[in-house]
Chains A and B, each alone.
Chain A
Amino acid sequence: MRRLLMHSPIAIALFWIGAYLFLTTLPLFILLIYPPPGGRGFWIEFSVALGFIGLAMMVLQFVATARINRIEASYGIDILLQFHRYTSLVAFFMVLLHPVMLFIAQPETLSLLNFFTAPWRARMAVLGTLAFIALVVTTIWRKPLGIPYEPWRTSHTVLSVLAVGLGFGHAIGVGNYLGLFWKAVLWGAIALTALWLIVYVRLVKPWLMMRKPYLVEEVIPERGNVWTLALRPWGHEGFCFQPGQFAWLTLDITPLSMREHPFSMSSSGDHSERIEFGIKALGDFTNTVKDIKPGTKAYLDGPYGVFTVDRYQDAAGFVLIAGGIGITPMMSILLTAAERQDDRPYLLIYASKTWDDITFRENLEELKDKLNLTIVPVLREPPEEWMGEQGYVDKDLLARYIPKHKGSRQYFICAAPKMMDQVERALHDLDVPVTNVHMEHFNLA
């Protein structure tokens, strides 16, 4: 599968799209086996179909976000979460269209909106839709609404379970298509799968993590308001990882709470006995990292991610483009490559604000002696005597450094979203094959 992905990402994409469409529409067509009598009119049946498709899509959202390694290994968790965002909106509009079409086709059904007189099946539909609306609103406008990440994650879980549970209850209550026992059992099994996945991610997996704790060994200050958090496995062997991957980190509290955060490892992927994370003090949680005392208990869920050079063993070399804290996975990639005595050329283009802000500056200089490594620092606010690159990583700058045979390299970008988009566009303009460009978005919330 992995070799096929490297040679034909389009084939893998088609496979997953086909699987998604099949899983979304199969439960619908099963309803047509021994169907209820028709003759209710096209628009009513169409509205019902959209309702069922919306419900099936809602269930599949639980699969997309369950951190299932086999699915995640195809494209990476950031792509998967973006897919989750887009398809959630599609499901949302289908679920909204279902009653709207019904109200237009049969205006008398508007009376079902009267919560006090309506039957329970209609009440469940109203409550489920309200839960879905709250889910979408609190997710899209989380930051403007000032909802902190952790309460949002808890409410996201509760609202999603409510939306699917009430939607399913509504379909069972109406009973037109789910009137036969085996159909109700089948759709019930689908809804229970969603429930199991969320129980697995939020309870079972954290419980398994609790059996493999880590201890904070050191918190090391780095340049650029970054802190290296070093963890040592306690009572187990830890894990090796592919350089560039990340893990979900929970500190000082049980992993059953919702306070886990994704961070890239910055240490060598081949050393499971000490795992390091580069963390920039940017938000509520990351600002507290500097105060963490050695000996604090930590839990890790990982490794995750496809942002790794290990997937491209046949590449002739690598171009790493980092901005700010985006250096963290690059550091892991370079350290691991140096330890493995990789003789392929590495080009690191690293954008920072000032010369003093270049995180891991000294460590990177040391790596130049152990690797075929070229470092191009790009400063936004360079000192007066600066002779190097300055400004932004744009098309002209990239054209000066990337090799003539552009397809011979694999390109890895990790930076702020705006810079990543600009660099990706510039590489595209420079005729770098789109399948050779790899990015890791960290805006997972």
Chain B
Amino acid sequence: MRYSIMLQVVGSMTLVLVGTGAFFAWLQNRSAPSQTIELQTKENQSRF
């Protein structure tokens, strides 16, 4: 009984972790408009 409850808990935690991994991938893979990046890069360069 206790172990089956734990199995369900670990199963749910796995889903959360996989979901977090997908969220991480989505955040990192968001397609930032290339023009904005170029502008930001130029802006940063002009600061230094």
The judgment on whether A and B are partners is yes
Hey, what's the 0/1 contact readout for B4-44 against A, CB within 8 Å counting as 1? 00110110011011101110111111111000000000000
Chain A contacts of B22 at CB under 8 A?
46, 49
Could you tell me if A428 and B2 are in contact, using CB atoms closer than 8 angstroms? no
Give the number of chain A interface residues (Cβ < 8 Å).
37
Known A46-B22, A49-B21, A53-B21; contact A439-B2, beta-carbon cutoff 8 A: yes
Known A86-B6, A87-B10; contact A39-B29, beta-carbon cutoff 8 A: yes
Could you tell me if B16 and A21 are in contact, using CB atoms closer than 8 angstroms? yes
Distance in Å: Cβ of B12 to nearest Cβ of chain A: 8
The listed residue with most B CB atoms (<10 A of its CB), out of A13, A46, A83, is A46
Bound Cα distance A24, B14 (Å): 11
Could you tell me if B25 and A46 are in contact, using CB atoms closer than 8 angstroms? yes
Distance in Å: Cβ of A258 to nearest Cβ of chain B: 26
In the complex, whether A32 has a CB less than 8 A from a CB of chain B is yes
Could you tell me if A53 and B17 are in contact, using CB atoms closer than 8 angstroms? yes
Known A86-B10, A90-B10; contact A79-B2, beta-carbon cutoff 8 A: yes
Could you tell me if B29 and A42 are in contact, using CB atoms closer than 8 angstroms? yes
**Which single residue of chain A is at the shortest CB-CB distance from B30?**
A38
Could you tell me if A17 and B24 are in contact, using CB atoms closer than 8 angstroms? no
Chain B contacts of A94 at CB under 8 A?
17-18, 21
Distance in Å: Cβ of B22 to nearest Cβ of chain A: 6
Contact with B20, one of A20, A41, A53 (Cβ below 8 angstroms):
A53
Chain B contacts of A166 at CB under 8 A?
none
Bound Cα distance A83, B28 (Å): 31
Could you tell me if A38 and B20 are in contact, using CB atoms closer than 8 angstroms? no
Known A32-B24, A82-B6; contact A21-B17, beta-carbon cutoff 8 A: yes
In the complex, whether A380 has a CB less than 8 A from a CB of chain B is no
Chain A contacts of B30 at CB under 8 A?
38
Taking residues whose C-beta sits less than 8 angstroms from the other chain, chain B's interface range is 20 to 34
Distance in Å: Cβ of A87 to nearest Cβ of chain B: 6
Distance in Å: Cβ of A353 to nearest Cβ of chain B: 26
Hey, what's the 0/1 contact readout for A430-445 against B, CB within 8 Å counting as 1? 0000100101000000
Bound Cα distance A349, B3 (Å): 23
Known A49-B21, A50-B18, A82-B6; contact A425-B1, beta-carbon cutoff 8 A: yes
Could you tell me if B1 and A428 are in contact, using CB atoms closer than 8 angstroms? yes
**Which single residue of chain B is at the shortest CB-CB distance from A40?**
B29
Bound Cα distance A415, B18 (Å): 37
Could you tell me if B13 and A21 are in contact, using CB atoms closer than 8 angstroms? yes
In the complex, whether A72 has a CB less than 8 A from a CB of chain B is no
Could you tell me if A29 and B24 are in contact, using CB atoms closer than 8 angstroms? yes
Could you tell me if B25 and A42 are in contact, using CB atoms closer than 8 angstroms? yes
Chain A contacts of B9 at CB under 8 A?
13, 17
Contact with B17, one of A25, A45, A428 (Cβ below 8 angstroms):
A25
Hey, what's the 0/1 contact readout for A20-64 against B, CB within 8 Å counting as 1? 110011001100100100111111011011100100010000000
Could you tell me if A82 and B3 are in contact, using CB atoms closer than 8 angstroms? yes
Distance in Å: Cβ of B38 to nearest Cβ of chain A: 13
Distance in Å: Cβ of A441 to nearest Cβ of chain B: 9
Could you tell me if A28 and B20 are in contact, using CB atoms closer than 8 angstroms? yes
Chain B contacts of A35 at CB under 8 A?
28
In the complex, whether A424 has a CB less than 8 A from a CB of chain B is yes
Bound Cα distance A417, B21 (Å): 37
**Which single residue of chain A is at the shortest CB-CB distance from B27?**
A32
Chain B contacts of A45 at CB under 8 A?
24-25, 28-29
Chain B contacts of A39 at CB under 8 A?
29, 31
Contact with A24, one of B17, B31, B32 (Cβ below 8 angstroms):
B17
Could you tell me if A20 and B13 are in contact, using CB atoms closer than 8 angstroms? yes
Chain A contacts of B26 at CB under 8 A?
42
Distance in Å: Cβ of B9 to nearest Cβ of chain A: 6
Chain B contacts of A28 at CB under 8 A?
20-21, 24
The 8 lowest CB-CB distance pairs between A and B, nearest first, are A49-B21, A45-B25, A46-B25, A49-B24, A86-B10, A45-B28, A42-B29, A38-B28
**Apart from A21-B17, A439-B2, what are 6 other A-B pairs with CB-CB below 8 Å?**
A24-B17, A25-B20, A28-B24, A46-B25, A79-B6, A86-B7
Q: List 5 A-B contacts (CB under 8 A).
A: A21-B17, A28-B21, A32-B28, A46-B21, A90-B10
